[in-house]
Amino acid sequence: MKRLFDLTLSIVLFVCLSPIFILIALLIKVKLGSPILFKQERPGLNGKRFSLNKFRTMTDERNDQGELMPDYIRLTSFGSFLRKYSLDEYPQLWNVIKGDLSLVGPRPLLIEYLPLYTKEQSLRHNVRPGITGWAQVNGRNALSWDEKFKLDVWYVNNQSFFLDIKILFLTVYKVIISDGINQPGNATMESFKGSNSTIGGGNP
């Protein structure tokens, strides 16, 4: 039922929003250049790797040593606008159609984080990752990593169709009010360095 719901709604949204996709792609081409899409390998269900698609929001600005500049320098005002309203996430509808993602589930993080998870934190990979999730509607990037993982694991242990519907409605609300976009003091979320904490609750 979850997969059928994901596939049906994603196809409808992909078709209906295609004019917006094209407009955003053209603006990225003008303001940031190529490539238009940001693609990165991420772990999916059971840790299986897939290529995640997002609209590009940063420049490729580098220092004299050829290293990428910090995020807060490369993130343009246009890119911040796309992130503020989650417009950069739209191409992930194609990932849902392909079966890499679900509409709702723990967000797919970086491959290099896999060996850093505790046994309990690793449970987040027991379900297909999502475009949005329980952590995203309960603080998003304003949460610490430990708090995010607690909420992710709570979702894995308590998932249901009606919970997914609740999360989708809350996601729309959170996007409208632009809640929890950035971690305090950072342009983006700081890297995960590992944790020894145990996973607890996260009741709705």
pLDDT tens per residue, range 16-60: 999 999 999 999 999 998 999 999 999 999 999 999 999 999 988
pTM, rounded to two decimals: 0.84
User: What average pLDDT score do residues 170-190 get?
Assistant: 71
- Burial of residue 180 (CB within 10 Å: 0-12, 13-18, 19+) is middle
State how far the Cα of 134 lies from the Cα of 171, in Å rounded to an integer.
9
**Backbone φ/ψ region at 154: left (φ over 0), alpha (ψ -120 to 50), beta:** alpha
Torsion angles phi and psi, residue 162, rounded to 5: -70, -30
